[in-house]
Amino acid sequence: MSIRSKLLKLSIISFFCASFVIYLFIGSQVSANSFPGPIASVTGAPGEGTCAACHGGGPGGGNLTIGGLPANYTPNQEIIITVTLMQAGGQRYGFELTAIDDSGARAGDLTPNDNRSQLQLNSVGGNVRQYINHTFGGTSPSGSGVGSWSFRWKAPAQSVGRITFYAAGNAANGSGDPTGDSIYTKSESIQSLTVFASVSAASFAQTLASESIAAGFGANLADGIVHASTVPLPTELGGAQVRVKDAAGTEINAGLFFAAPGQINYLLPPNLALGPATITVRRGGVDVAQGIVQIVQVNPALFSANANGRGVAAANVFRIKASGEQTTELLAQFNPALPGFEPLPIDLGPDTDQVFFIGYGTGLRNNPTGATCTIGGVNAEVLFVGKNNFFEGLDQMNVRIPRSLAGRGNVDVVCTLAGKTFNTVNIAVR
């Protein structure tokens, strides 16, 4: 070949190389100290090809992994992802990764940690996807027979369901020729956590207090329907656990009363910091649902017989006769025609009888002073507010029933504690 021909060939090669570099810099989001890398949209994601379109013919036996992914994500969660390509004898290593939802749209934000990786954008099927891939400097091995890249991913601000990470890797022989390179692809999916909505098990109020009984609702929370049968309460039922992280960052497992696929009843741990708390359900060791609740000093609530926070109270009548005899009586009865519980009228008896309403609730014990109560609009004497020692998380309120209520029929029981009003329940007085 003549010197003229050689110079012409070098000029043509230089032109195409320069054009390729210009394309990469114009078509990519790169930092000032980054270097050209691969073209976008070669991860093997739906609608894309892979690096094998240009490279191939190398040995097998390698492995491409996407590390650091949790099983589930929460909105705005940030994690460190590491892509690792292992191939014995490789001289240069490269990769590209994208994260998309089931519609093929970009899911979350990728951010390089160092100058081994850079960002690009490209449109695929009408969706603008974000890519992170190697820089020129990022092709150097991270160790013998391995290339590795770490970067950050931030989840979308709102759940988008399943998110899949697609990656392609190239273990190159360093010859400068696309033949003799080994191409690998990998995909990994994560799911969004389902919502776990926690309320007072008595009133269904959306604030909770330490050592109060809560009911949490969601989907696929437990393996089956299981009731606790031991005290102290177990921290796992039906493969499910409930973990509470308070505003101070303290995390502790809650005791469980009941677990089912759609509901878990649990006991809030003691001494939680006031403010927002994160409640996370783990099933089989994997986070499956999460929610936020406000922890307050007191969240007074009375249980109702129909377990809906209203109607006839889940309570007893306590009677002291002039002789000193003491009896405990029911104040609710089941009516199959409703179906449900309805008030069983209370007979106040002779004037010498003292009759008391014994209401059962939760969220009372942390500030048991200053309680007030009216029954049928009549002020009623509150004799006790505090812990019931026979059931975990259960509190009790003892109120004298005014004798002036005789013959009133159904009347509302309205109480307050620490300036907060209980849910309204009712009784009937003959």
Residue 118 within any structural domain of the chain: yes
Q: How far apart are CA 315 and CA 329, in angstroms?
A: 9
19 falls in which pLDDT band (50, 70, 90)? very low
Residue 2 within any structural domain of the chain: no
Q: What angle do CA 51, 56, 58 make, to 5 degrees?
A: 130
Give the tens place of pLDDT for each residue, 69-92: 998 898 899 999 999 999 999 999
> End of a domain among 164, 192, 220?
192
Terminal-to-terminal C-alpha distance of the chain: 118
- Domain of 163, CATH number, reads 2.60.40.680
Task: Estimate the share of the chain in helix, then strand, then coil, as percent rounded to the nearest 5.
Answer: 10, 50, 45
Q: Does residue 46 sit in the same domain as residue 92?
A: yes
- How many domains does the structure of the chain reveal? 3
Closest CA to 138 of 85, 93, 174, 177: 93
Residue 15 within any structural domain of the chain: no
Closest CA to 426 of 380, 351, 376: 376
Q: Does residue 236 sit in the same domain as residue 277?
A: yes
Residue 5 within any structural domain of the chain: no
Is omega for the bond preceding 232 within 30 degrees of 0, making it cis?
Answer: yes
Q: Does residue 284 sit in the same domain as residue 327?
A: no
Q: Does residue 114 sit in the same domain as residue 184?
A: yes
Residue 364 within any structural domain of the chain: yes
Stated pTM of the model: 0.72
Give the tens place of pLDDT for each residue, 359-371: 999 999 998 788 9
> What range defines the domain where residue 309 resides?
301-429
- Domain of 314, CATH number, reads 2.60.40
115: Cβ–Cβ under 8 A, 6 or more apart, which residues?
31, 33, 34, 35, 135, 137, 138
Residue 12 within any structural domain of the chain: no
Residue 404 within any structural domain of the chain: yes
Q: What angle do CA 312, 399, 407 make, to 5 degrees?
A: 60
Per-residue pLDDT at 176 = 83
Q: How far apart are CA 362 and CA 392, in angstroms?
A: 10
> End of a domain among 192, 209, 234?
192
Q: Does residue 198 sit in the same domain as residue 271?
A: yes
Q: Does residue 56 sit in the same domain as residue 114?
A: yes
Query: What is the pLDDT averaged over residues 340-349?
Result: 97
Q: For residues 277 and 293, is the Cβ–Cβ distance under 8 A?
A: yes
177 falls in which pLDDT band (50, 70, 90)? confident
- Domain of 202, CATH number, reads 2.70.50.70
Q: Does residue 313 sit in the same domain as residue 288?
A: no
Query: What is the pLDDT averaged over residues 42-54?
Result: 94
Q: How far apart are CA 229 and CA 247, in angstroms?
A: 31
Residue 20 within any structural domain of the chain: no
Q: Which two tokens stand for residue 9?
A: 């060939």
Q: Does residue 202 sit in the same domain as residue 99?
A: no
Give the containing element (helix H, strand E) for 276: strand 275-283
Give the tens place of pLDDT for each residue, 405-427: 999 999 999 999 999 999 999 99
> End of a domain among 296, 316, 345?
296
Q: Does residue 281 sit in the same domain as residue 318?
A: no
Closest CA to 151 of 195, 95, 226: 95
